């Protein structure tokens, strides 16, 4: 056995429960399906000891046809390929397993009626502001599920990489806080089962695609959370992973086939060279290592070229949408899986839910690499994506750099200005997800060296420029990670989410005056944005920052309204000559400054305070 497979075998021997139960069929996935779906195809995976030796037939059911019984390398798996005619009625399919040695066995498979509103689910858009939560670190709403029998990773709040106890109930209990702050959508990092021996809290090493981790709650409670969030005006974005699984995934104990994962003679990690995708000179070996290499040793890389696995992953995403009522998906590491599979995956979801939104993570500061993945982009190699939204890492990077850079012969705003000026490479810039920070990078307040004035400039920009803003939990109360970029510290507990916390950000108890001010600032800004539709979809015009000047001005406008945004990074007040902006303002400026609720009456010059932002509703 090669060293790589020996490593897997040794790990599983130490961590796995008994391989098989006594019942014939241990798993049937997806656990149910719905009639009336846009696609008539359905693949059912049956798993059980030697199930491949049984004859499988489908008892007569009007509108349902068993097209193929596919047996694979591992005799413990059978894949059933069915078609469901549009007129098929809900009910229970009967699947019969025959053997010469024993009596027939009958399986009941539910076909459920589809809720009429699901196919018209409207995804998130530039009208939304997204609140990103790492659930283990947000609120512990149910202490009874902190530790669960059979799961090694126990709650230990003193361990930065350990589980801390946050859960679904904690989110439910604080939906009012999220809504009152002005957020309209929730992106929650993965909550599916992560039965890993350590560092399981983050959720990205999935061990069961159809099960919410019991330390978070149940899938029914998750569905209830989505419904309650919707009732409060919040949509929910589910974080999914198609590139890899956790090493303790039940598949790894008994793979359907050797090509279910990308195998190597010895452990090979991805090179993370995403530029390979666009590189006309890239070596095939480098491409293979990028796509097929493992993310880390504990996360086996899935081979989406395997047709049964590809269908499994597509159906799993659709199952969660239909079952839970989520309004969006954030797909982790979008460029890493097989490219054609990701196209098929996103296209299949769009076919079922035309108004649904998927955002893909492409961590690159090069706009050309990010633009490659967005739907509507005409790529040099003919690749046509079906992905509506991509995360705008270039803009986040430029914003932080512009705020931190010192003034030289040119304005320090130039990097941000020129990054936005490259929006011509995107098919739809307004569908990009822009963000202050996220769970994989230092807190924004830390990135800005805990400069409160720069923090407010950044938030004003994010709330008023094009795109879909996303803010990480705790950013609204100045969370930091000083002296460390350890993810466990970046994803530290939200104060007040645990009983006996000395600081409670939900009530204000124990918070500093600056934290309270930041929280109120964010609340005012986002609630104003919520009802200001010109920010959601209006045109954008920005003016090049003048050399040696530290002022950046842009406008959002449509036929009904104009918004002027002024960002002054100078350490002193500035008297702004408005004649520069006459093409959109005319000869003078009148309106209301939003942040301080101050009237402005027919001025040609405007005093802007040092390190200050102004948002003006122009009249």
Q: Where in the sequence numbering do the catalytic residues fall?
A: 332, 361
Phi, psi torsion values for 426, nearest 5 degrees:
-95, 145
How many CA atoms lie less than 13 Å away from 511 in the CB half-sphere? 22
3: nearest Cα among 239, 201, 259, 264: 264
- Alpha carbon distance 584, 104 (integer Å): 78
CB 377 within 8 A of CB 424: no
The answer for residues whose C-beta is within 8 angstroms of residue 590's C-beta and 6 or more apart is 600, 601, 602, 603, 618, 619
CB 470 within 8 A of CB 129: yes
- Alpha carbon distance 483, 111 (integer Å): 54
Q: Is 597 left (phi over 0), alpha (psi -120 to 50) or beta?
A: left
Kindly report the number of other CB atoms within 10 A of residue 330's CB atom. Answer: 27
Q: What is the dihedral of CA 241, 244, 248, 254, to 10 degrees?
A: 120
Give Cα separations from 79 to 25, 56, 57, 70, 254 (angstroms).
Answer: 13, 10, 12, 5, 15
Phi, psi torsion values for 183, nearest 5 degrees:
-75, 150
DSSP string, 319-377: HHHHHH---EEEETTTTSS-HHHHHHHHHHHHHH-TT-EEEE----S-HHHHHTTBTT-
Both tokens of residue 169? Answer: 């109930």
C-alpha 44: how far from its chain's center? Answer: 27
Kindly report the number of other CB atoms within 10 A of residue 223's CB atom. Answer: 18
Phi, psi torsion values for 475, nearest 5 degrees:
-60, -30
- Alpha carbon distance 449, 445 (integer Å): 6
- Sign of the C-alpha dihedral computed for residues 207, 211, 214 and 216 taken in this order: positive
């947000």: which residue's tokens?
138
Determine which helix (DSSP H) or strand (DSSP E) holds 415, and give its type and residue range: helix 414-420
């Amino acid at each position: 056995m090669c060293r790589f497979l020996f490593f897997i075998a040794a790990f599983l021997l130490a961590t796995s429960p008994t391989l098989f139960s006594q019942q014939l069929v241990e798993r049937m996935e997806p656990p149910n399906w719905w009639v009336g779906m846009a696609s008539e195809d359905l693949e059912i995976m049956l798993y059980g000891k030697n199930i491949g030796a049984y004859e499988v037939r489908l008892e007569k059911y009007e509108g349902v046809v068993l097209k193929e019984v596919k047996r694979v390398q591992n005799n413990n798996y059978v894949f059933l390929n069915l078609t469901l005619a549009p007129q098929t009625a809900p009910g229970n399919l009967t699947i019969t397993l025959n053997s010469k040695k024993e009596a027939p066995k009958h399986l009941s498979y539910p076909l459920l009626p589809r809720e009429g509103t699901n196919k018209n689910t409207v995804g998130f858009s530039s009208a939304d502001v997204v609140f990103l939560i790492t659930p283990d670190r947000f609120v512990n709403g149910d202490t009874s599920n902190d530790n669960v029998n059979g799961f090694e990773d126990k709650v230990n709040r003193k361990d930065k990489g350990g589980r801390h106890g946050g859960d679904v109930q904690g989110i439910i209990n604080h939906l009012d806080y999220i809504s009152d702050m002005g957020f309209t959508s929730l992106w929650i990092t993965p909550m599916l089962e992560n039965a890993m021996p350590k560092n399981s809290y983050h959720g990205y090493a999935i061990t069961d695609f159809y099960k919410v981790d019991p330390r978070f709650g149940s899938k029914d409670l998750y569905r209830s959370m989505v419904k309650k969030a919707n009732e409060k005006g919040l949509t929910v974005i589910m974080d999914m992973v198609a590139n890899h699984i956790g090493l303790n995934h039940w598949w790894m104990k008994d793979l359907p086939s050797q090509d279910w994962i990308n195998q190597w003679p010895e452990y090979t990690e991805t090179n993370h060279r995403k530029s390979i995708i666009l590189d006309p000179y890239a070596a095939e070996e480098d491409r293979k290592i990028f796509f097929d290499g493992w993310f880390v040793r504990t996360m086996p890389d899935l081979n989406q070229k395997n047709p049964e696995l590809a269908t499994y992953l597509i159906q799993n995403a659709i199952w969660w949408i239909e079952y839970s009522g989520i309004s969006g998906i954030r797909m982790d590491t979008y460029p890493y899986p097989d490219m054609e599979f990701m196209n098929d995956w996103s296209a299949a979801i769009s076919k079922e839910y035309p108004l649904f939104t998927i955002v893909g993570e492409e961590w690159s500061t090069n706009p050309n690499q990010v633009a490659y993945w967005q739907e509507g982009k005409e790529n040099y190699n003919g690749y046509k994506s079906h992905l509506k939204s991509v995360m705008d890492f270039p803009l986040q990077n430029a914003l932080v750099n512009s705020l931190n850079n010192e003034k030289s012969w040119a304005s320090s705003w130039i990097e941000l200005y020129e990054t936005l000026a490259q929006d011509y490479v995107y098919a739809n810039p307004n569908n990009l997800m822009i963000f202050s920070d996220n769970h994989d990078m230092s807190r924004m307040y830390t990135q800005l060296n805990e400069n409160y004035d720069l923090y407010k400039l950044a938030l004003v920009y994010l709330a008023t420029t094009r795109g879909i803003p996303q803010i990480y939990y705790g950013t609204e109360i100045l969370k930091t990670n000083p002296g460390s970029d350890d993810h466990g510290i970046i994803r530290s507990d939200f104060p007040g989410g645990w009983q006996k916390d000395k600081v409670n950000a939900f009530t204000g108890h124990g918070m500093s005056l600056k934290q309270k001010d930041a929280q109120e600032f964010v609340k005012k800004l986002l609630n104003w944005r919520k009802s200001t539709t010109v920010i959601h979809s209006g045109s954008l015009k920005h003016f090049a920052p003048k050399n040696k000047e530290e002022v950046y001005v842009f406008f959002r406008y449509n036929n009904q309204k104009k918004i002027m945004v002024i960002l002054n990074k100078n350490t002193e007040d500035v008297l702004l000559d408005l004649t520069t902006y006459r093409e959109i303002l005319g000869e003078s400026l009148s309106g209301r400054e939003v942040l301080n609720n101050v009237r402005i009456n027919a001025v040609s010059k405007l005093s802007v305070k040092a390190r200050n932002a102004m948002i003006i509703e122009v009249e």
